[in-house]
Amino acid sequence: MTKRVALIYDVVIVGAGPAGLCAALYAGRGLLKAVTIERGAPGGELLNTDLIEDYIGFESVKGWELAQKMTEHAKQFGAEIVTDMVERIHRDADGWFDVETARGDSYRSQAVILTAGGTPVKLGIPGEKEYAGKGVSYCAVCDGAFFRGERLAVVGGGDAAVEEADYLTRYASKVHLVHRRDEFRASQLLQERAFSNPKIEVIRNTVVPEIVGNDTGVTHAVLEDNSTGMRSNLDVGGVFIFAGFKPNTQLVDGHVDHDAGGYLITDNRMMTSMAGLFAAGDVRSQVTRQITTAVGDATTAAIAVEKFLKGLREGDGKAKK
């Protein structure tokens, strides 16, 4: 694909989830020339979440509705949102970044705010890849309605697994929540709600080593007891996997300090070890990853970018850490 002439901006924001949209809003308020690049519809993981009850000011709001409100709010401050897929973020020796996309466009700026989120962690077991889209799913909101009246398995023990298991009961006749440990990592509120649901059966200390099916889709999940090693078959029409997310930090060309999970380490300005590269939301190393923390990160990052660029203009024009 032919590379087009680079488009010049003050800051390029990669990703339009809650963090990206918030960063776009604050960049607009700061009168920065900014562009936000998102591979799909604005909203990120909000679009895969049915009901949100832990975002301050909204006792209960649909994920798509909050995404729409955030998008509209950002656009009120002049947010420019481009639908494209970022393939590479490269920092030149002169301190300028080139953000390259799948369409062959190049966006050039002295600051980048990375809010690209993550992708679902795969179990890497037989049958997972073979039946992806044919009974294996990583998004209950996206695919739940296709399993009306079915028995389903949900694999995982965090907030997403427990919350999505509860969500799936509106379609499924039974949901088996399978977790490899005895204790769940999910918040107590989510556990109490899900475990009191008569449609949910909790299976502890158990892993799923294989997913089996036929030409029509998934027929059962193989269960293995961690204590005894004994295996059994669980007849289900679908397996929903919530084993965590891997941050989309591979977009950055070059080394950036990160933790053991690959999440970027930042200072209190949200700047990474690469001068001019800021991180916000699910790509950043922190204690918890919520909508509230994402927008908090983004607020700090956008304001810090404004000060960073001002420092460059008043200095020698070279980016420094």
* Nearest CA among 31, 28, 29, 33 for reference residue 12: 33
Report the side by side order of strands in the sheet with 11-14.
81-83, 34-38, 11-14, 111-114, 277-279
Buried/exposed code over 40-76 (b: 16+ C-beta within 10 A; e: otherwise): eebbbbbbbbeebeebeeeeebebbebbbebbeebbe
* Nearest CA among 39, 44, 38 for reference residue 64: 44
* Tally: H helices and E strands in the chain: 6, 22
142 classed as catalytic: yes
84 classed as catalytic: no
Going by C-beta distance under 8 Å and a sequence separation of 6 or more, which residues neighbour residue 288? none
* Active-site residue (options: 142, 235, 257, 259): 142
Give helix 159-168 / helix 188-195 axis angle, nearest 10°: 30
Residue listed under structure tokens 């009120």 = 76
Rounded-to-integer distance, Cα 58 and Cα 116, Å: 25
Rounded-to-integer distance, Cα 170 and Cα 177, Å: 15
22 classed as catalytic: no
* Active-site residue (options: 10, 54, 84, 143): 143
Tokens coding 248: 């989309």
* Active-site residue (options: 84, 139, 225, 253): 139
* Nearest CA among 274, 266, 273 for reference residue 298: 266
Show the CA angle centred on residue 203, arms to residues 202 and 209, nearest 5°: 140
Which residues belong to the active site? 139, 142-143
